[in-house]
Amino acid sequence: MPHTQTQAHTPRLIAVSNRVQVETGVDNANRGGLAVALAAALRQSNGIWFGWSGKQTGEFTGQIAFQRADGVATATIDLEAQDIEEYYNGFANRTLWPLFHYRLDLTEIARDFAGGYARVNERFADTFSPLIAPDDLIWVHDYHLMPLGSHLRKRGFENRIGFFLHIPWPPPSLLMSLPGHRELARGMLDYDVIGFQSEEWRQAFIDYATVQFEATLEGETLRLGERLTRLLVCPIGLDVADFAGAVHSIAARQAETRLVVSAVGRDMIVGVDRLDYSKGLAERFAAYELLLADHPELHEKVSLLQIAPPSRGDVASYRQIREELDALSGRINGAYSSIDWVPIRYVNQGYSRDELFGIYRAARVGLVTPLRDGMNLVAKEYVVAQDPADPGVLVLSRFAGAAAQLPQAVLVNPHAIEDMAEGIARALAMPLAERQERHRAMLETITRRDVRWWSETFMAALAEEPEAALAHSNVADLREAAGAKR
C-alpha cells in the first residue's frame, strides 16, 4: 500500500527558557528540574530547546551553538556583558523577581533594566525565528521571557505559543507599581496558553487582565477581541520514579548514615533552599530560636541542618541576606551550643541529588517555609524521600504554591515566628500513625501529579484548538487531586 499523509503526526516542540542546562557526560546527578521535565517531551517530538548558554561574549552575534545531549537537541546563544547585567541581573533578578514575590521594598526600577529586557527578548526572537516551522508548538518558560510571544507574533508567527510561569503572579496593585506593567501584561495575551502553578496566581492574572484590558473570561479562557488565551492551573511536579530511585544509590545511603551518626540520637530538622530572600530563611532561623527558648527540654535533642547554596551573588540583596543569615546562625549557636551540641548547622554548599535524598530521609522534619514561592519542589522531594513505614513530617508555608496540593503537611504562616515554632514542635511530637497517614496522602498526590503529568497536561492544552478549549476548566480536577478540604 502506498504511504499516505494521514499518519498521526506529533508536532515538534520548541522549548525556550532563559538558561539551557546542557547535560554532558553520564553523571546527571545534578541536572535541573526543568531539564528533567522537558527532556521527555523534547525527545518524543524530536524537539529543540533554545536559550542562553550562560556564557558571555564580547559582542552579540546571534550565532547558535547546536548540541545533542542525552537525546535532547539544544540550541544556545551567548550574551554580551551589558545584556547579562541589564536583562538577567537587572530586570529579571532585581525588578521582576522581587516584585513577583511581593517584595516591593527590594524591587529596583531602572530604565536601563527595562531596555535591556526588551532588547534581549528581541534578540531571542530574531535568533530563533529561523528555526521555527509552521506547525511547531512553542513553549516559553518563566519571567525572563514574558514578551517573547508578542515579539514572535509581530514577526508574523501564527504557531501555537504557550508560556509557563514558574513563580507567582502578583496581585494587581503590586504589579501596577511597575512602569510598563500594561505593556508587559498585554504581551501575555499573545500566548495561546498560560500555565500557572496555582489557582491563586491565575486568579491574580485574571483580576488584572479583566480590569485593565476589559478582557472577558469564558470558562478558563480569556477573550480580548479576536484573541483567546487559555489560563491553565498546571502545578509542576517531580520526576518521582527517578528521584525515588535514589533510595538504592550509595551516595544517598552514605549521606543518610553520615547524618544519622552525626546526630547521635537527636531529631534532625532539615531545610534545603537556594540562598534567596523569598525562601524565608531569616524568619525560619528566628522560629527555631524561639522553639529553643520555649522548649528547654528540646535542648541537645534537636538539630537544624540548613543547606543553602548561594545564588545570584552579583545582586546586592542576595549578599545582604547571606550576611544576615551568617549573623543570625552565629548568634543562635553562640547562645545555645554546648560542648557537644551545635543547634544549627548552616551550610553554604550544594550537594548531589542522591546525597540530598539521603539528607531528606534522615530528617524527622522537613522545614519548607518560603514567604512566597511559585511551587517549591523541595517540599515534594522531602515527601518522596521518606520511608513510608516511619516518615518524617513536612512543615510547609501556606504561601508556597505546593500548599494547595499538599494540605496534609503541617501548614504554617512563615511571617508568624510563633506559628512556625509551634508547627515544628507539633511535627516533632507527631505520633507514628498520623505521620504515616499524612505521608501516604501527600505521596499519592505527588506521584499522580508528577512531572510527566505536568508537561503532558500543558502540551495537550497547547495542541488543542482555541475554540475547543472554551469548554474546559481543570480547577475541579485539581482540587480533587489534592484531596483538598481547606
Which residues are tagged catalytic?
Answer: 166, 373
* Binding footprint of ligand GDG on the chain (CB under 6 A): 30, 33, 166-167, 236, 272, 274, 307, 309, 350-353, 356, 373-378, 381
Q: Are 20 and 50 in contact (CB under 8 A)?
A: yes
Backbone angles phi, psi at 151, to 5 degrees: -60, -35
Question: What sign does the dihedral 97-100-101-106 (CA atoms) show?
Answer: positive
Least Å distance, CB 350 to ligand GDG, is 3
Q: What 8-state DSSP symbol labels residue 469?
A: H
- Among candidates 421, 360, 419, which has minimal Cα distance to 394? 360
Within 11-138, where are the H helices?
33-45, 81-83, 97-100, 111-128
Cell of 89: 541581573
Q: What 8-state DSSP symbol labels residue 109?
A: P
Cell of 116: 535591556
Cα–Cα dist 211/386, whole Å: 45
Helices 33-45 and 451-463: angle between axes, nearest 10 degrees: 50
Burial (0-12, 13-18, 19+ Cβ within 10 Å), 214: exposed
Adjacency order of strands within the sheet including 13-19: 65-69, 72-80, 48-57, 13-19, 137-141, 161-164, 193-196, 227-233, 221-224, 216-218
| Residue 468 DSSP SS3 | helix
- Among candidates 318, 328, 335, which has minimal Cα distance to 284? 328
Which residue, 186 or 253, has its beta carbon nearer to ligand GDG?
253
Cα–Cα dist 314/97, whole Å: 14
Rg of the chain over all Cα atoms, to the nearest angstrom: 23
SS3 sequence, 250-303?
A: HHHHHHHHHHHHHHCCCEEEEEECCECHHHCHHHHHHHHHHHHHHCHHHCCCEE
In 319-403, at which residue ranges do the beta strands (DSSP E only) sit?
Answer: 344-347, 365-368, 393-397
